[in-house]
Amino acid sequence: MAASSPAPEFQRASYGRLALIAGIVVIADQATKLAIMHTMQLYQSLPVIPGFFNLTYIHNPGGAFGFLAGQGLILRRVVFIGLSAGLAALVFWIYRETSRHQRWMASGLALIFGGALGNLVDRIRIGEVVDFLDFYLKGWHWPAFNVADSAITVGITIFVLQMLFAKTPARES
């Protein structure tokens, strides 16, 4: 019977990767939102690709797809700041438990973390999230979104694909 080699020592993903990716997301998100806020009027829409894509400056008082948008400011702030901070903390904890060999997983989590922080900044600063990317086709119109939302979506996609298809390294306790 052949001797089995010991499991490799578990090494956590680099916090440098988290800081770099999340930092880029937050900076890109906030920079694009500030550019929109300083160059456009609220509710103004500029066609970029007619019949498909506009820059449309709106404030989203609710969550995804306008969730809780009709509720009072205090309730929305408590719920959404709490959810954003809780999501960021959960993603940070999962990141902490990610092996340095799981680069795609770590990158996906860093995108989610950066996106959550980008929208959290808006919630704290103005009580709402600035959205401006507006895609549509004929009668179909996707709700406007921003760079942070995009990072969260890409990060979640990477996370799910990694959970479904990637081999996870063994971890010794």
Judge whether 119 and 81 are in contact, CB under 8 Å.
no
Catalytically annotated residues: 131, 149
Backbone angles phi, psi at 7, to 5 degrees: -65, 140
Cα separation, 9 vs 4, in Å, equals: 15
CB 113 within 8 A of CB 92: yes
Two structure tokens written together for 21: 């990716």
What tokens appear for 57 in the block? 């400056």
DSSP summary character for residue 145? B
Phi-psi region of 54 (alpha: psi -120 to 50; beta: other; left: phi over 0): beta
Q: Find out whether 12 and 96 touch, Cβ atoms under 8 Å.
A: yes
How many Cα atoms within 13 Å fall on the side-chain side of residue 20?
Answer: 7
